[in-house]
Amino acid sequence: MKAKHQRLTLALLALAAVVGAGLLALSALKDQAAFFYSPSDALRDNPEPGKAVRLGGMVAADSVRRAADGITVRFAVTDGKATTPVMFAGIVPDLFRERSGVVAEGHFNADHSFTATNLLAKHDEKYMPPEVAGAMHETKTLAP
Amino acid sequence: MMAEAGLAALWFAAALAALQLVMAAIGLRASAGSSTPTVRVDDEKDTAGSVMAAVRPVAIVQGLIVAVAMVMLIGVFLQSDMSVRLVVENSHSAKPWLYKFAGAWGNHEGSMLLWVTILGLAGGAVAVLERRLDERTLIATLGAQAGIALGFYAFLLLSSNPFDRISPAPRDGLGLNPLLQDPGLAFHPPTLYIGYVGISVAFSFAVGALITRDVGPAFARAMRPWVLGAWIFLTLGITAGSYWAYYELGWGGWWFWDPVENASLMPWLAATALLHSVTVLATRDGLRAWTVMLAVVAFSMSMIGTFLVRSGILTSVHAFAVDPRRGAFILALLAIYIGGALVLFAARVGTVRAGNVFDFVSREGALVANNLLLSVILGVVLIGTLYPIVAAGFGVQLSIGAPFFDKTVGPIALFLVAIMGAGPLMRWRRDQGQAVVARMMWPIAATCFAAAGLFVFASIGILPFLGLSLAAGLAVASVAPLWGRNLRRTPLFTYGMVVAHLGIAVSLAGMASDSAFTRETLVAARVGQPIKAGPYVITLDGIRPVVGQNWSALEAQLSATRGESTIVLHPQSRFFANPVTTTNESAILTTWDGQLYTVLGQSDTEGRWQLRLWWKPYVTLIWLGGALIALGGALSLVGRWRRERRSAHRQEAWA
């Protein structure tokens, strides 16, 4: 094989790799991207039950209840306009508290409640998840 | 005074970087002009020679002066000088000594200063150490290095001054994020930065070689130690960061596909590809344009990584402050550097002559496949990382997590592992397919044996199943290059390759084992009640308060019994006053066959305590593998260095 041909082949292979990566990523993005909902988005868009999504907002005041098993926690996430009931089994993050921002990873159920597999709270006092900041910007005055 | 001295040093270093850039440009132009015959050849040559001769010392001095600025910053942190804004915002006088020291870079401004300090010192090191490369290429390299540094100096001085004073000075500072108050902070950021900066040196070499049209084996040999060094540090930084996140965050996971983690993984993938292609260029004089392109890509990835982490566009412990102006500044730097590099590449790629040819069934062919697959993984990770940011620009909020990356990266990585086993067993230039398969007999047998065993005795997911089987095959294949060789005469860099590849097999086995066999137990436990977790029976003996230097905690005492032996573990829930935060300090029991990972949660009204317990068989192999990979890199580096020194001696003896 001549050097010129080899160079061309390599360039084509590289191009194929880049295009292949793009196609693979885009096809996987279609069903693997977890969309972010605020409670009022969820009410409006009615997300498919069982699909991995994120729910973000504020933990509603006086909504946190612990079940008798000592592990399951139920609480409500609000964005000031709508409220979604959430169930979570596990140790809540250190910064999880009422009237504080939270992002729940999990899925919606058929009855519009949310089952969380993971909770993300603010990392520190300076930081507010932009998702929450976005969804909360109209209701920020509710924060203490 | 220290803060002012630091700021002055920073300005001085920036001015020297500008001088270095201008002198390199003048020197190169003059020396290029002198190659065409004119009347005043000697004069011009002299000017060019003396200007170029001054570039090296300037680079060295620039490195030393910026290091002075960094030392001054560490100084004000150690003194807890509360008239410096950065100290006020990120430190507290009651913090332990180590975190005052490491806290100097536990914030946006300080970490950027550390970045340029390492960049400056690396430039100085190039100026001192590099003697083999053509002088003009070296000057062009140092010029490119100064160009990169200049952008970061501008960023620091114009929008992120770390030495800003505050008046009146408050009585004490706000403290450091407790998640960062860990010995890991002293180790993880500097290691990663050395890695990032090492890649920028490799990139400068590529730019230098493009400018002087000197892309060849000599350039590759000059660049290789920097790529290798950067790669070792990136490997160490990622491994350490992964273990830190694993024990600090208390989620029991070791990799979260967090954008910040991806920001360190992408340069590593590019550097890994570059490392392999630069070897082809240095030893076989092939893949010339390809290697230069990879150097550009690797540098772009480390810039994108810096941008993602430092711009505040992402939310994580790494994003210290959200200031849109800074994000725009780094984005502009990113565009200038990457755009400039691509334009230079496009303009000069025509002058890079094609290198040696090779068959597709050959060591070079396997290395090309390695490069292509690494590029595909890199592309997928890049898209998965940037897509949410782009989507946010269009008002759609979404996140891309483990399901996406597992589904896309997993299969390609396993395919790459299969090729990795075969590559080192192939001959350079040309090989026979059948002969390669014959040499691969034992690794293939090991893979099949492991697969059959797993199929019969364990029912696990397809990815962990393939991962464990291929890890067995790769472990055999990676030591195969040593078979039938005189072990004492085998060069050290061959051992380096063997160890690094073995490290991949070990790490892969750990990852697959963790995802296949981890057992999680979540209970609300009463004192004295036995709980089963993997091979252990755990009892909660009690809870007691403890006090540390700047925290107080509730500490559980857990007795973990396995067979005859009982070991006591103390997971804590810590409260920090500055800033007010609670963190979970997990307690981990490491044994030869895995780790028992315990986290203490909250108590309930009935006096029960939440406990989260994981039994993770062989999870430690993940980081052990990472350490082996880095060790392999170090062996190669030493091996190459020794060989070059020996051949230099031989040349002297001949002369």
Helix, strand, coil fractions of chain B, as percent rounded to 5 = 65, 10, 20
Q: Which residue from B minimizes the CA distance to A19?
A: B376
Q: Which residue has the tokens 């009855």?
A: A111
Residues with Cβ within 8 Å of residue B470, at least 6 apart in sequence: B414, B417, B418, B421, B447, B508
**Distance from C-alpha of B271 to C-alpha of B383, rounded to nearest angstrom:** 18
Query: Angle A107-B603-B617 (CA atoms, 0-180°, nearest 5)?
Result: 65
Q: Which residue has the tokens 């980081």?
A: B623
Distance from CA of A96 to the nearest CA of B (A): 10
Question: Which among B133, B157, B180 is the end of a domain?
Answer: B180
Predicted confidence at residue A116, as pLDDT, reads 92
Min Cα distance B341 → chain A (Å) is: 19
Shortest distance between the Cα of A94 and any Cα of chain B, in A, equals 5
The pLDDT value given to residue A45: 81
Domain boundary among the residues B406, B439, B472 is at: B439
Please check whether residues B38 and B58 belong to one and the same domain: yes
The tens digit of pLDDT for each residue in B269-286 reads: 999 999 999 988 888 888
Residues of chain A with C-beta less than 8 angstroms from the C-beta of B357: 1-3, 6
- Do B367 and B450 have their domain in common? no
Chain A hits for B373, Cβ within 8 Å: 17
A-B CB pairs within 8 A amount to: 140
* Same domain as B325, residue B226: yes
Percent over 90 (pLDDT), chain B: 32
Which of B179, B354, B379 faces A4 most closely, judged by CB atoms? B354
Same domain? For B168 and B245 the reply is no
- Do B383 and A26 count as a contact with CB atoms less than 8 A apart? yes
Q: Judge whether residue B583 has pLDDT over 60.
A: yes
- Answer yes or no: do B218 and B272 share one domain: yes
Nearest CA-CA distance, residue B461 and chain A, Å: 18
Report the predicted TM-score, pTM, of the whole model to 2 decimal places. Answer: 0.88
Q: Which of B559, B557, B555, B611 is nearest to B585 (CA)?
A: B555
Instruction: Please give the pLDDT value at position B37.
Output: 43
Which residues of B173-322 form beta strands (DSSP E)? none
Per-residue pLDDT reduced to its tens digit, B590-641: 999 999 999 888 887 788 888 889 999 999 999 999 999 999 999 999 988 8
Residue appearing with tokens 């058929």: A110
Residue B327, judged by CB atoms within 10 A of its CB (0-12, 13-18, 19+), counts as middle
Last residue of a domain, one of B439, B460, B487: B439
Chain B interface includes A26 (CB < 8 A): yes
Question: B604 or B422: whose pLDDT is higher?
Answer: B422
Cα B441 to Cα B138, B189, B477, B480, B484, distances in angstroms: 47, 43, 9, 11, 15
Residues B492, B589 within the same domain: no
What Cα–Cα distance (Å) separates residue B146 from each residue in B17, B55, B138, B204?
5, 10, 12, 9
Cβ distance A123 to B315 less than 8 Å, yes or no, reads yes
pLDDT for residue B136: 86
B147-201, pLDDT tens digit by residue? 999 999 998 898 888 888 877 777 777 777 776 777 777 788 888 888 988 899 9
Confidence of residue B569 (pLDDT cuts 50, 70, 90): very high
Whether A70 sits inside 8 A of B604 (CB atoms) is: yes
User: Which residues of chain A make contact with B523, given a CB cutoff of 8 A?
Assistant: 70-71
Range B80-91 average pLDDT: 81
Instruction: Give yes or no for a contact between B15 and B74, defined as CB atoms under 8 angstroms apart.
Output: no
- Assess whether pLDDT exceeds 90 at residue B413: yes
Judged by CB atoms closer than 8 Å, whether chains meet at A91 and B358 is answered as no
- Same domain for B77 and B200? no
Range of the domain at B16: 1-180
Q: Are residues B512 and B639 in the same domain?
A: yes
| B200 plus B331 within the same structural domain | yes
Instruction: Note whether B138 and B197 are same-domain residues.
Output: no
**In chain B, which among 235-254 make CB contacts under 8 A with chain A?**
250-251
Among partner residues A32, A70, A95, which is closest to B610 by beta-carbon distance? A70
At residue B322 the predicted structure's pLDDT band, cuts being 50, 70 and 90, is: low
Count other Cβ atoms within 10 Å, centred on residue B629: 25
Measured between alpha carbons, how far is residue B529 from residues B229, B445, B537, B614 in Å?
52, 48, 10, 17
Q: Cβ of B179 under 8 Å from any chain A Cβ? A: yes
Does A21 reach chain B within 8 Å, measured CB to CB? yes
B465, pLDDT greater than 70: yes
Whether B521 and chain A come into contact, CB under 8 Å, resolves to no
Bigger pLDDT: B99 vs B452: B452
| Block mean pLDDT (10 aa), chain A, length 144 | 74 87 86 82 84 85 85 88 90 78 87 88 48 40 32
- A23 CB within 8 Å of a chain B CB: no
Comparing alpha-carbon positions, the chain A residue that sits nearest to B388 is A33
Residue A1 in contact with partner chain B when CB distance is under 8 A:
yes
Closest-CA distance, A111 to chain B, in angstroms, reads 23
Burial class (CB in 10 A: 0-12, 13-18, 19+), B236: buried
Q: What is the pLDDT of residue B427?
A: 85
B639, B224 Cβ separation under 8 angstroms: no
For residue range B521-555, what is the model confidence (pLDDT) as tens digits?
Answer: 888 888 888 898 889 999 999 889 998 887 888 89
For residue A105, the SS3 value is: strand
CA distance B516 to B460: 6
Residue B42 has pLDDT above 60, yes or no: no
- Return the residue in B215, B349, B352, B376 with the most chain A beta carbons within 10 A, the one to mutate for interface testing: B376
The strand ranges marked E within B130-226 are none
Share of chain B above pLDDT 70, in %: 94
Question: Cβ of B179 and A123 within 8 Å?
Answer: yes
**In this structure, what token pair is assigned to residue B231?**
């790669």
Q: How far is B529 from chain A (nearest CA, A)?
A: 14
Contact B69, B109 (CB under 8 A): no
Q: Which residues of A touch B354 (CB under 8 A)?
A: 3-4, 6-7
Please indicate if any CB of chain A lies within 8 Å of the CB of B407.
Answer: yes
| Number of structural domains in chain B | 4
Q: Are residues B223 and B328 in the same domain?
A: yes
The stretch B101-113 carries a mean pLDDT of 84
What part of A 60-119 touches B (C-beta under 8 Å)?
A: 66, 69-71, 89-92, 94-95, 105, 118
ipTM: 0.79
* Arithmetic mean of pLDDT over chain B: 85
- Locus of tokens 């483990």: B402
| B186 and B146 within one domain | no
Contacting B residues, span 584-643, partner chain A, CB-CB under 8 Å: 584, 599, 601-602, 604, 606, 608, 610, 612
Which of A18, A89, A131 is the closest to B379 by Cβ?
A18
Per-residue pLDDT at A7: 78
Tokens 């573990």 found at: B569
Structural element, H or E, at residue B572: strand B572-576
Beta strands in B609-654 (DSSP E): 609-617
B368/A10 touch (CB, cutoff 8 Å), yes or no? yes
Q: Where residue B313 falls among pLDDT bands split at 50, 70, 90? A: low
Interface test with B, best of A72, A94, A132 (most B CBs within 10 A): A94
The confidence score (pLDDT) of residue B253 equals: 84
